[in-house]
Amino acid sequence: MILVLLGTQNNSFHRLLEEIEKNIKEGIIKEEVIVQAGYTKFQSHRMRIVDLISKEQLEQFQDEADFIITHGGVGSIISSVRKGKKVIAVPRMHEYGEHVNNHQIEIVKNFNGQGYIIGIEKVEDLKKAIIESKNFIPKKYEINNKLMLKTIEEFIDKI
């Protein structure tokens, strides 16, 4: 099963679901797809789409998932890599009205650069990332509050 996490922002991330749908149609994705869509309204008979789910249900889906496709939110990424899951992260983009700014690009680059996830910037690169995920071994996530604070501080300084 593939779990898709779009977070709880009140903006749509329609283009990611369109790309996932395309990859299902092309046979790249053969597994069941469960989507936690938040405020993204999308109709599909190929995916099981739920708006918001409880923390317990989210954790169960994460445990059961073969891999996770997520937006570039820190919470979704960290909760998934903590479970040792393969994660493909795609940042929400300001120019598409998906977020107030482009901070998720830096978040995705940071986690990708450290080897925790496969980070892509363009949804069109999803097919390549899915293929890459078959051999991807994510770096084990270890809680390091000092490093996390440093990363957050560096990020804030860039804004």
Confidence of residue 146 (pLDDT cuts 50, 70, 90): low
Q: What is the pLDDT of residues 22-34, one digit of tens each?
A: 999 999 999 999 9
Confidence of residue 141 (pLDDT cuts 50, 70, 90): confident
pTM above 0.95, yes or no: no
Rounded CA-CA distance 124/38 in Å is: 22
Rounded CA-CA distance 93/71 in Å is: 10
Residue 17 has pLDDT above 60, yes or no: yes
Q: Single out the residue of 41, 42, 19 nearest to residue 29, CA to CA.
A: 19
Structure tokens of 140?
């084990």
Residue 80 has pLDDT above 70, yes or no: yes
Query: How far is residue 102 from each of residues 117, 122, 127, measured CA to CA in Å?
Result: 19, 13, 23
Structure tokens of 25?
């149609």
Confidence of residue 144 (pLDDT cuts 50, 70, 90): low
